[in-house]
Amino acid sequence: MSSRITTAGVLIAATIAGLGTTLWTVATTEPAKLPVLDAMSAATASVKEFPNRITSWNSVAVQLIRRGEPSAQVAAWLGARDPAWVAEQGAGAMLWYSVSHQLALTTERFNPDFSRPESVAARSKAIDLLVDLSHKHPERMRYWHWNSLAWAWIRSGQRRFAQGALERTEQAIFSSAGDESDDPTPGEFVLGLNRLVSCWGDTGMADRAKQIALLHRIEGMIDQRGEATTGNFTYVWLAQHFFNLNEREEGFETLSHARSVYLAADPSVDLRENWRRLAGAYAARGHRDEALEAVESFAAQLDHLGQGVEPLSWNRAGWSFELLDASDRAQDCWGRWLAIQQKNIQSGATDSGSFYNLACGFALTGDPDGALDALDRAVAAGYSNVTHLENDRDLTSLRDEDRFQDLLESLRAKIADRAKRAQTPTRGILQRR
């Protein structure tokens, strides 16, 4: 199946990244153009929009470190910001915390060395600034400030202090979840909870009992607030944490509770993502009957509400059935998906992605000639992702077809020729005589 990037997709992605809503202007004499933002501007825009995301601060820290000596760069960056915003967000503390993490990274990105002198020095500055903020302006301390302070103390070997900061983190995150003036989005709430759970884990405080107690508190929060699939704030997310702690009974109880909640819900309520995730959780643990029931419910919601963007599609439902050895049901779903692709073409779609999806539909439903004809049209319309062609499971039935192999070879040759011509210097049309 094709994954297409459209103009609308660029607009949405840029808006989410905090780059503004006016992305281009239309002129009568020039084509529309997207503005070019350098990496630092993009990182700064992101941290101003999402100050409670540690990833936002990390992005700024990376750019500052690349520019030179951290102390001077941090001071310059803070000096260029609104002083009120800097004070309200504890920006200096968060930035030094992120700098300390980036300076701990070696060539092994997932094995940071927090004992490196430069990382230790930056972390000490972060701790001093966060402690000062908590004393002078406790009202400004949000859950991400307390959580960052906890991690800083953990990495400094100050576990007693870290425990106090974690308790304040938990208090702050749950209280802010009910405060409309500082209410985190579902995604931000889950991000904070994930960091909190991990702090109590093996890489942090190694307090398993505290982790489990926290998960139970989160379960009560989900019961109270309901689920938010856009932020992974679901019973399935919670069950996964129980399974990670080898609390299998708790995990299956949570999945069973989720199943009961979804079955009792109003059919008009959109639970497509919930059923899909529940099916995956049961399938991953070998519970085929429960997984099949969940996929059937997923398919029923697709029938009632229609399909959405991936993974809420008939294609995905088909693969879910296929992987559970329910091939007849898989074919039913893929037939529905093919019909949608055919209707799309009949409505006038001529882009390469539409033809590619049509090819996938034919291949999945056992029509290799139709699939190969559609692939030819996709390539003619500009499709050129050879790697995707070679690995897309939708096209597995075509792998041994001579036409498919010929198409791959032809496409590779076109790409190689294009690359060669791009590297060849061009000569002026007019030459001196």
What does the pLDDT look like over 403-424, one tens digit per residue? 999 999 999 998 888 878 877 6
Phi, psi of 148 (to 5 degrees): -65, -40
pLDDT at 224: 80
Residue 119 pLDDT > 90: yes
The pTM (predicted TM-score) of the whole model is 0.70
Question: What is the average per-residue pLDDT within 1-21?
Answer: 35
Q: How confident is the model at residue 21 (pLDDT cuts 50, 70, 90)?
A: very low
**In this structure, which amino acid lies at residue 259?**
R
pLDDT at residue 425, as a whole number: 59
Looking at the predicted structure, is the pLDDT value of residue 349 above 60? yes
Mapping DSSP onto H, E and C, the string for 300-313 reads HHHHHHCCCCCCCC
Look at residue 171 in the predicted model and tell me its pLDDT: 86
Among 355, 418, 421, 365, smallest CA distance to 389 is for 355
Distance CA 144, CA 151 (A): 10
Mean pLDDT highest for which of 27-31, 34-38, 330-334? 330-334
What is the structure's pLDDT at 193? 77
Report the range of poorest mean pLDDT among 52-61, 148-157, 166-175.
166-175
pLDDT confidence tier of residue 198, bands split at 50, 70 and 90: confident
Record the tokens describing residue 123, joined without a space: 């972390």
Residue 184's pLDDT band, with cuts at 50, 70 and 90, is: low
What is the per-residue pLDDT for 432?
40
Which pLDDT does position 18 carry in this prediction?
A: 31
Sign of CA dihedral 175, 181, 186, 192: negative
Model confidence band, residue 218 (pLDDT cutoffs 50, 70, 90): confident
Complete DSSP assignment for 241-286:
HHHHTT-HHHHHHHHHHHHHHHHHS-TTS--HHHHHHHHHHHHHTT
Q: How confident is the model at residue 377 (pLDDT cuts 50, 70, 90)?
A: very high
Question: Could you report the per-residue pLDDT of 292-342, keeping only the tens digit for each?
Answer: 999 999 999 999 999 998 899 999 999 999 999 999 999 999 999 999 999
pLDDT at 4 over 90: no
Q: Tell me, what's the pLDDT at 176?
A: 61
Tell me the pLDDT tens digit for each residue of 252-281: 999 999 999 999 999 889 999 999 999 999
Look at residue 19 in the predicted model and tell me its pLDDT: 30
Looking at residue 7, its pLDDT comes to 34
- The rounded distance, in Å, linking the Cα atoms of 48 and 56 is 8
Is a pLDDT exceeding 70 seen at residue 236?
Answer: yes
- The percentage of residues in the chain with a pLDDT greater than 70, rounded to a whole number, is 85
Taking the CA atoms of residue 172, residue 175, residue 178 and residue 184 in that order, the dihedral angle to the nearest 10 degrees is 10
User: Exposed/middle/buried for 295, CB within 10 Å: 0-12, 13-18, 19+?
Assistant: buried
Examine the pLDDT at 369 and tell me if it is beyond 60: yes
Q: What is the pLDDT of residue 364?
A: 97
User: How high does pLDDT run on average in the chain?
Assistant: 85
pLDDT of residue 197: 82
356 has a pLDDT exceeding 90: yes
pLDDT band at 188 (very low <50, low <70, confident <90, very high): low
